Structure formats: structure tokens, C-alpha cells
Amino acid sequence: MPKITDEKRALRRIQILEAAWSCFQKQGLHATTMSDIIAASNLSAGAVYSYFPSKDELILAAVKTSLTGLRERVEPLLNAAPLLPPSRFIEDIARAVTDFTAREGYDLRRVALLGWSEAQRNEHLRETMQVYYVEFRARLADAVANWKRAGEIRKTADDGDVSKTLLAMILGFVVQSAITGDVSAQELAHGLRDLVQREGADAE
Amino acid sequence: MPKITDEKRALRRIQILEAAWSCFQKQGLHATTMSDIIAASNLSAGAVYSYFPSKDELILAAVKTSLTGLRERVEPLLNAAPLLPPSRFIEDIARAVTDFTAREGYDLRRVALLGWSEAQRNEHLRETMQVYYVEFRARLADAVANWKRAGEIRKTADDGDVSKTLLAMILGFVVQSAITGDVSAQELAHGLRDLVQREGADAE
Amino acid sequence: MPKITDEKRALRRIQILEAAWSCFQKQGLHATTMSDIIAASNLSAGAVYSYFPSKDELILAAVKTSLTGLRERVEPLLNAAPLLPPSRFIEDIARAVTDFTAREGYDLRRVALLGWSEAQRNEHLRETMQVYYVEFRARLADAVANWKRAGEIRKTADDGDVSKTLLAMILGFVVQSAITGDVSAQELAHGLRDLVQREGADAE
Amino acid sequence: MPKITDEKRALRRIQILEAAWSCFQKQGLHATTMSDIIAASNLSAGAVYSYFPSKDELILAAVKTSLTGLRERVEPLLNAAPLLPPSRFIEDIARAVTDFTAREGYDLRRVALLGWSEAQRNEHLRETMQVYYVEFRARLADAVANWKRAGEIRKTADDGDVSKTLLAMILGFVVQSAITGDVSAQELAHGLRDLVQREGADAE
DNA sequence: GATGAATGAGTCTTCATTCAT
DNA sequence: AATGAATGAAGACTCATTCAT
């Protein structure tokens, strides 16, 4: 077995990461043993450890990857021109969360909950997440500025405050749909629309 | 006949629970060992086990108690007459979360994140949470009905949808403030107000 | 099982240490597994670890104890008045090494070799040994001074040099008897006497 | 027909052996992994294993080689005519040990300690060493006989006993200088001389 | 011949829980 | 009732060795 190509190494990494995801979702981060992951990956202990030096590193990679994966899906929505109005925008973001979950064969929402929990005791993970969410909020603030120009929300709105509220809605959607399992992207969006529109205002 | 009165038993339970909370927040649910909790509670292993038959029960009790504690603080806000308008209401709820954290000497938000994560692998906890959030949402739906009567939001709004959106905002506030640590109840409320009010609408 | 007495704790420690010695001699330090020691001590893994926090600590204790044990046996020889002449003195020291081995049911010489080897990679052990041997040499230097006063060796002798040579003989006796197994305390002493006494000098 | 000449093979062996020595000294025999040696030798795992079938063989070879190397250096001293008197002879032997260490870029003394320790659990190594030391002692006994003829030591001296004492001094010098690091060949020799010469005897 | 990725048995250590005192 | 020492199953990780390419 001489030198393996970088391509193959990358594939192996993904193979292991997928095995890990699958276990993590079913059993949680700590109830999952390395043996579980090793068995699910169809590799040997040594092989897995040659790709990830510790369980913590594997957890980190799993969570980071899901963060990155989500970003890639949400990016187009943020860059769309013209930008969709707030409630439609939120609906699409929520749908991206839901779709990501369904498509990749693993539940992004569950991984998110596990990751947040883990971030409490893992410095590196906590920082990674902080940076991620702060950056994401900055992108939302850009969207808010856009909406102000488009007259979707009033000019005096504070970009920062609104972006915080929007992020809260998105993260809360993740939690709520993971725990109660009975919330759709559409319901979230309609709820926002109804909150926004007063009596007599014309719908969407 | 027990030497120890029921009253004393109750106090001991709280003593243990507080020790557990304190450890859980610092180290997470699984990195906390029974030894940690036993040491923090100033009791013996046997004593702790006579109050809680297993670590899982202790986790369950710790999370349930924080759920109950929060409910008690939020209850008055839901029953207030007249009900505050949406953004004010959200602000007060968020403030209750923040205050609860500060006052009891332990961080409700962290416990919430840990609890959600744990709920992934603990059937009983998951059901408890589901019931709790669904009930809480029902109370929020009542508030929505109230707001409709008061003309705060339009009559055609769907109580269920709006309650889901509101819950998302609240849960998302918990996540965001636990992870980034830079969101206040006021910012959340202002963000909602700005989202709600269009150009030319009169403020609050 | 309430609080155990200090006495019992000390006995347990010895019980474990003896199990460890016995294993270390048969298999060496690193080929001995904790399982071996646990089995030999008739205790559980947890119990052993409650007395010694790691294998390294156990190794350290085993070596230190043998150092201390030997010192206790050699002490009287150093303090004897009048001090025996050099070759007799060396003979008794060598005999103490041999006896210690036989009596305590474990081979001091083997433990010494293992310890020296381990000291190469264990900072703490190395320092402990350094201190021990330097102190021991100081005691030998005292003996040399005594011999000079008694006319056993010439006045111009350097206490330090002679103590180094004596220590070398003792340590070398340990090595040689452990490896070849065919050297007695008497042979060592006779060899020294023969080296010391020239033609025509009167014996002993 | 091998692509590689015997000469090259021999060079490779030495290259590996030197890598092994270097690792063994730094970390000890068991803390050194085959990976360490492989990395230090700049060869592949397969290559190293084609020269030494197992780690044990490598240890054996490393220790044996150091034994042989030392013999080659000491040989001339034993065959010198006229033979140096005892304390001068010991000084030169000790110096050979020290020089060997310095010149070959690796510490003979450390390897010796490791080897003795390993001999406890390695039958083959133990036998090799026994033979080596017994033979070496026989050469020392020859020297003793010489000294008797030359009147350096008294005629009634027992060649065997004296050779054992001399070997003890040499081996003990190795231990002491490896552990305390503060003994020179000269000090050892002076110590012996002082022990040998009584009051009034003429020096050297 | 050479390579180095893969193997997997074996190691040290932890920790929820029990129960003799 | 209370104690805390003891248990031992289970977990994370290592590393000598092999063999497909």
C-alpha cells in the first residue's frame, strides 16, 4: 500500500465523518463510542485514528463541517438580487435547514443541538461557533440594509438589532423543529408575516 | 420512622440539584462525574444516591427543574391584564430568561442547551420537553388571540403560526446569547419592533 | 465500607507494592501490565488506582521503596563504632544487598537495574536517585575520614575520590551479581583485600 | 539477483542501528516506538523490517553491538605489554568507556543500563551478556596473574576474586556516571590508589 | 524490491454504582 | 440512615507488524 492520493484521503475522511455523523445523531456525542464510529466506517481503529487524532477532533470536524455545509446552502439566498422580503427570506432559510437535513442523509438540526452543547466545554468549538454566528449576523445586517432601501422595513431600523432578531428566529426554528418536530418553514414565515402586518395592511 | 423530615429531604434534594447544576454548567452533562456532584453537594455517595437513583435521573431532574423554574417566572407575563404588545412582551420574556440566569446563580441558557442535546438520546427527557414546549406554545397562542382582539395584530393571523414564530424567537435568543453572548432582551425586542413597523407607521 | 483506618490503608499500599515488585522482577517494568499487578494484588482495578494514580507512580513508589529499604539496612553499618576496615565493610554492605534480596521475597538487584533504566526517561526518578546516591556517597566519605584517622588508609587519600570508588564497587556488585549471578559478598571483599595488600603485607 | 550489494546492506544495517541507538538513549527501550526508529533512519517501515525482523531483534542487535564496540576499545589495554599497574589500568578502562560514549555520538553508559534492564526479561540477551561478562572477567583474571608476576599485587591473591572486584568497579563506574554524572576516570583511579596504598607506602 | 496505509489485539485508565460496616 | 471503599465493565487510544500495490 504505497502512498495514497490526496483525493482518496479526502474520500476516506468523508467516509469517517459520515459514519460519525450517523452515530452522533442516533446516540449523541458522548454516548457514541469510537468503536461505534469505527464499526460504522468499515475501517479499523488505527485507520480512523490516522485521519482524526482523537474523538474530540472528530467531534470538532463533524460540527464544523455541518456549519460550513449550511453556509454554502444559505449563501445564494443572501446574495440573491433582488433580495426576497423578510418573511419570504426567512422561509427560504428555514427551508434550507430542513432540506440540508433531508438531503445529506443526516439531521443538521440534531447536529446543531449537539454542537451547541459541546461548545460549552470545548473552547475551540465555542470560538469557531462564535465567529460563525457573528459573521452570519453581519450578512443578515447587510440584508436588513437592503430591505431598508427597498422600503421593506422602516429606515430608522437598527441593522444590528434586526439581524439579532432574525438570527434568533432561525436558531429557534432549528431547536423547535428538532424538539417538537411540528414546525415547517412556511409556518415560521407566516407567523412572522402575521406579526408584521397590522389590521388593514395588504398581504405580501 | 424516618429520622429526617420531609422538609429536610426536600432541602437535601435542592442542595444536590444545585450542586449538579453548578457542575453541569461548567463541564457539560457527560464530563461531569457523579464524584464531582457528590463533592460539590458536600454529601456522601450513598446519600446522593438515596435521593436520585441514577445520574440520568439527576440530569432529568436538573433539566425539568429549570424548565419549571422558568415557567414560574414567565407565567405572570402571560396572565398580565392588559397583555403587553408583542415586542414588549418578547422583551420581558427574554429578560426573564436573563434574570433567571443571574439570580439563581446558574445559567439557565447553558442548562437549556445541554438539555436539548441530552433530549436526543433520552426518550423521557425528550417527551417532557415536547410537552413543555407545546404547552408553552398554547399559552403563546392565547396571547396571540388576545392581541388580535386588542388590534395589535391583524385578525386573520393564524394563532398557531404566530405562536411558533414567537417560540422560535425566544429559544433562538437563548441559543444566541449563550453562544455569542452579545444579545440583550432589548435588542431582541427592538429588532422585532423594527421588523413589524413599516415606514410611516407610528412607533409602539 | 466507611472510612478505613490509616493503618489499613498503609497495609493495602504495601500489598499492592509487593504485587508490583513481584511482577516487575519477572517481566520488567514495561512488560508488566496493570492487569498483571491488579491480579497479583487480589484487588480490583479501581482499588489499585485509588492508591496509585498511574502506572508511573507505581513504578516510582516501587523503586523509591527499594532505595529506602536498602538505606535502612546499610545505615547501621555506616554508624558502627568502631567502623570495620574497608574490605570488611564492603563485604557487609554487599551482604546487606544480598540479604535484602533474599529476605523480602524480591530481588533488590533486579529492581535496581530496572530503576536505573527507568531513570533515563523519568525526570522525577532520575532526580530522586541522584540525591540518594550523592547522599550515600557523602556517608561513605565520612567513613573514609574515619579510616584515615584509624590508619586504615593513608592520610593523603581524597575522601571524595575514595567514596566514588567504593560506591562504584557496590553498584557494580549489584550489576554483576544480577547478570552473571556468580559473585558473593566474600569474593568481592577478598578481591578488594588482595588488591589492597602488597607482597609481604600482613593479611587482614 | 539482488539489486543491492552486501556492502550496501551492511551500511543500511548500521544506519538503522544508529537511528535505534539515538532513539533508545533519549526515550528508553520501550518508550521508543518502531515509528520513531523508522523516522530517524529515513527509511520505510518495510525496509527496516527487511533488516530486522522485530523490535526485539533490533534491541538485541543494538545492545550486542555496543558490547562488541566496547570490547574492541578495551582489547588493546588488556594486551598491552607491559601491562599498566591496577589503578592506571582501571583509569584507562574507565576512560575508554567515557570516550566511546563521546566519540560514537551516543552514550554507551545509557545503553548499558537499558540493556541490563532488558536482560531481565529477554532470555537471549541475558545469555549473551552473561557470556560477555564472564569472558571479560577471564581476561581480567589474566591481567591479575600478570600483576602477581610483576609484584604489583601479592602472590596469594585469588585471580577470580580480584577479577570480580575489578569488574564490579568498572560496571559501577558506568552506573554511577550515568546516574549522578559527576565521576571521572581519574577520580575512580585515584580512589582505588588511595584505597590500595597504606600510610608510608610510596605513591604509584 | 520498496512503500506506508491498514490492522486489531492489547494498554491504561475512568467512573456509575453498590453494599459491608 | 449514612458512609465511602471497592468493583469491574467499558472506553479511548497505541503500535508492532503485514502486505497490496
The predicted pLDDT at position A102 comes to 72
Q: Does the CB of B46 sit below 7 A from strand E?
A: yes
pLDDT higher than threshold 80 for residue B2: no
The predicted pLDDT at position A187 comes to 97
Residue nearest the C1' of E6 (CA based): A47
Residues B52 and B60: their CA atoms lie apart, in Å, by: 10
- Phi/psi of residue A200, each to 5°? 85, -20
Q: What cell does A1 get?
A: 500500500
Q: What cell does A17 get?
A: 465523518
Distances (CA, A) of A28 to B120, C169, D123: 6, 63, 50
The predicted pLDDT at position D35 comes to 97
- Please list, in sequence order, all residues whose beta carbon lies within 8 angstroms of the beta carbon of residue D184, skipping any fewer than 6 positions away: D94, D98
Of A181, A195, A199, the CB nearest to B155: A199
Mean pLDDT on C33-62: 96
pLDDT higher than threshold 70 for residue B89: yes
Give the rounded percent of residues in chain C with a pLDDT score beyond 90.
73
**Is B201 in contact with A154 (CB distance < 8 Å)?**
yes
- Phi/psi of residue B3, each to 5°? -70, -25
Q: Which residues of chain A have pLDDT under 70?
A: 1-2, 103-105, 197-204
- Fold exhibited by the domain D1-53: Arc Repressor Mutant, subunit A (1.10.10)
**Is A129 in contact with A116 (CB distance < 8 Å)?**
yes
Closest by CA to D139, choosing from D89, D78, D56, D198, is D78
The predicted pLDDT at position C100 comes to 83
**Range in A55-64, B170-179, B188-197, C134-143 with the lowest mean pLDDT:** B188-197
Closest by CA to B106, choosing from B21, B182, B36, is B21
pLDDT higher than threshold 80 for residue C201: no
- Fold exhibited by the domain D59-196: Tetracycline Repressor; domain 2 (1.10.357)
Closest by CA to A141, choosing from A183, A98, A83, is A83
- Please name the residue that has the C-alpha cell 442548562: B111
Classify C151 in phi/psi space as left (phi over 0), alpha (psi -120 to 50) or beta.
Answer: left
Confidence of residue D199 (pLDDT cuts 50, 70, 90): very low
Residue nearest the C1' of F3 (CA based): C2
Can you tell me whether residue B170 is helix, strand or coil?
A: helix
pLDDT digits (tens, 9 = 90+) for D38-58: 999 999 999 999 999 999 999
The predicted pLDDT at position D5 comes to 77
- Please list, in sequence order, all residues whose beta carbon lies within 8 angstroms of the beta carbon of residue C59, skipping any fewer than 6 positions away: C20, C24, C29, C118, C122, C125
Confidence of residue D201 (pLDDT cuts 50, 70, 90): very low
Confidence of residue C199 (pLDDT cuts 50, 70, 90): very low
The answer to whether the Cβ–Cβ distance between D175 and C172 falls below 8 Å is yes
Q: What is the DSSP letter of B3?
A: S
The residue among C162 and D73 whose pLDDT is bigger is C162
- Please list, in sequence order, all residues whose beta carbon lies within 8 angstroms of the beta carbon of residue D182, skipping any fewer than 6 positions away: C134
Residues C33/C36/C37/C38 CA torsion (nearest 10 deg):
110
Closest by CA to A198, choosing from B161, B194, B155, is B155
**Is B150 in contact with B81 (CB distance < 8 Å)?**
no
Interface test with C, best of D117, D123, D132, D170 (most C CBs within 10 A): D117
Residues B138 and B158: their CA atoms lie apart, in Å, by: 12
Q: What cell does D136 get?
A: 571479560
Distance from CA of C175 to the nearest CA of D (A): 7
Nucleotide nearest to D2 (CA to C1'): E1
Residues 73-102 (C) near nucleic chain F, CB < 7 A: none
Average pLDDT of chain B, as a whole number: 90
Q: Where are the domain boundaries for CATH 1.10.10.60 in chain D? A: 1-53
The predicted pLDDT at position B73 comes to 87
Q: CATH number of the domain at B63-196, out of 3.40.50.1370, 1.10.357.10, 3.90.1150.10, 3.40.605.10?
A: 1.10.357.10
Segments in D104-158 forming alpha helices (H): 108-119, 123-150
Alpha carbon of residue B154 to chain centroid: 29
pLDDT higher than threshold 50 for residue D8: yes
Residues A184 and A182: their CA atoms lie apart, in Å, by: 7
Q: Where are the domain boundaries for CATH 1.10.357.10 in chain D? A: 59-196
Q: Which residues of B touch A27 (CB under 8 A)?
A: 121
pLDDT digits (tens, 9 = 90+) for D122-170: 989 999 999 999 999 999 999 999 999 998 898 999 999 999 999 999 9
Distance from CA of B126 to the nearest CA of A (A): 7
The answer to whether the Cβ–Cβ distance between C171 and D170 falls below 8 Å is no
pLDDT higher than threshold 50 for residue D204: no
CA of D168 to C1' of F20 (A): 53
Q: Does the CB of A54 sit below 7 A from strand F?
A: yes
Q: What cell does A100 get?
A: 440540508
Q: Up-side HSE of residue B25: CA atoms within 13 Å toward CB?
A: 19
Q: Does the CB of B49 sit below 7 A from strand E?
A: yes
Of B156, B164, B170, the CB nearest to A187: B164
Q: Which amino acid would we find at residue C162?
A: V
Q: Where are the domain boundaries for CATH 1.10.357.10 in chain C? A: 60-196
Of C25, C30, C153, the CB nearest to D30: C30
B179-182 contacts at long range (C-beta below 8 A, 24 or more positions apart) = B179/A116, B179/A119, B179/A126, B179/A129, B179/A130, B179/A133, B180/A130, B180/A133, B180/A134, B180/A137, B181/A130, B182/A134
Write out which nucleotides of chain E lie closer than 7 A to a protein Cβ: 1-21
Confidence of residue B198 (pLDDT cuts 50, 70, 90): low
The residue among D94 and A204 whose pLDDT is bigger is D94
Peptide bond into B82 cis (omega under 30): yes
pLDDT digits (tens, 9 = 90+) for D174-190: 999 999 999 999 999 99
**Is B62 in contact with B52 (CB distance < 8 Å)?**
no
Q: Where are the domain boundaries for CATH 1.10.357.10 in chain A? A: 61-196
Confidence of residue D66 (pLDDT cuts 50, 70, 90): confident
- Please list, in sequence order, all residues whose beta carbon lies within 8 angstroms of the beta carbon of residue D23, skipping any fewer than 6 positions away: D32, D36, D37, D40
The predicted pLDDT at position B104 comes to 63
Confidence of residue C4 (pLDDT cuts 50, 70, 90): confident
Q: What is the pTM of this model?
A: 0.90
Closest by CA to C175, choosing from D25, D161, D140, D113, is D113
- Fold exhibited by the domain A61-196: Tetracycline Repressor; domain 2 (1.10.357)
Longest dimension (CA), chain D: 73
The predicted pLDDT at position D147 comes to 94
Q: Which residues of B touch A55 (CB under 8 A)?
A: none
pLDDT higher than threshold 70 for residue C190: yes
Architecture of domain C60-196: Orthogonal Bundle (1.10)
Residues D78/D81/D85/D86 CA torsion (nearest 10 deg):
10
Closest by CA to C173, choosing from C192, C191, C193, C188, is C188
